[in-house]
Amino acid sequence: MIDSFKDILAAAKQGGVKRVVVPFPGREDIDVLSRAAALGLVSPILIGNEKSLKAFIGKTDLWSYPNEVLNEKDRKAALNRALTLMREGKGDILMQGGLTQRALMGAVLDEESGMKKARVVSYASVFQLLKTEKLISVTDTFLNNNPGLVEKQAILENALHLDRLLGAESPKVAVLSAIEQVNPGIPSTLDAAVLSKMAERRQFGKALVEGPLDIDCALSEAAAGRKGVQSVVTGNVDIYLVPEVDTGYLLAEALVFFGKMPAVGVVLGTTKPVVLTIPFISDENRVVEIALASLTCRKGVDNG
């Protein structure tokens, strides 16, 4: 079982070097890739102005590790070439690099030339708890604005796939809402109740899904008991499924900035992992983020 960021790094090292494709990398990207290459995690494929990139790499530690530079002076052409490399199996992980998230994800989600695998592509934020050796994930924290029940089912399936790759045999899922009771006036409670019933009927395989839960019931078995909620999920959650992106993104930011919890993230539901540049992911943890993406490549499985 992988229980910490240290475990993620160790497991990724055992999985071997991954080819990371990065269109128009910036200074921060080169620094992260240098550190990842030094750990034996990656062999970067950088796409951009060849002359400028090689001159810049020569001033960093990355020059001493295997890397490849492909010449494309136009950002759109660099993005198209990156996607071609991923489709042809010449890349294992796609990084955002110097592209905007809108441009990158628009291309990734293209039905004909993109990398979409699952019904819904989602983003999972993974946090390391401070007091115990345990990882939790919150999803979707970035990509799906107002998912309905069908989309939430797919988002949950993506998150369960990731948790099982991290070694969880029976992930415990809290489907969050404003309250812990089913209320027809609050649609997210209805979605949560349906997902919970689906899990009871083994539609998610070996997983324990409880909902609706408000945040105190999810975090505390005692608080749940006071409200009449009896579940093995409360107080021991692995995955927090949020009702929409506002809740997810704000919760992730609060955990990082108020709670000081280390965070990484990865795009799920694509044929190969995609790493975005998210503001609340620290530079220090971006190497762990690459390692997490590397784990979703292992054993040749698809990323969703």
Span 143-163, pLDDT tens digits: 999 999 999 999 999 999 999
302 has a pLDDT exceeding 60? no
Rounded (5°) CA angle 237-240-241? 145
pLDDT band at 230 (very low <50, low <70, confident <90, very high): confident
Do 224 and 107 fall into the same domain? no
pLDDT at 303: 56
Do 109 and 34 fall into the same domain? yes
pLDDT at 195: 98
* pTM metric for this prediction: 0.94
- In this structure, which amino acid lies at residue 250? L
Do 58 and 183 fall into the same domain? no
pLDDT band at 301 (very low <50, low <70, confident <90, very high): very low
For residue 60, CA distances in Å to 30, 54, 68, 296 come to: 8, 10, 15, 28
Do 135 and 165 fall into the same domain? yes
pLDDT band at 73 (very low <50, low <70, confident <90, very high): confident
pLDDT at 112: 87
What tens digit of pLDDT does each residue of 104-136 get?
Answer: 999 999 988 899 998 999 999 999 999 888 999
Name residues whose C-beta falls within 8 Å of residue 119's C-beta, 6 or more positions apart in sequence. Answer: 150, 154, 269
CA 290 to chain centre: 10
Q: Supply 14's token pair.
A: 């055992």
Distance between CA atoms of residues 229 and 221, nearest Å = 8
pLDDT band at 304 (very low <50, low <70, confident <90, very high): low
Is residue 114 situated within a structural domain? yes
Q: What is the mean pLDDT of the chain?
A: 93
Q: Supply 205's token pair.
A: 């395989």
Do 101 and 130 fall into the same domain? no
Is residue 130 situated within a structural domain? yes
Do 280 and 206 fall into the same domain? no
Tell me the sheet residues that pair with 128.
135
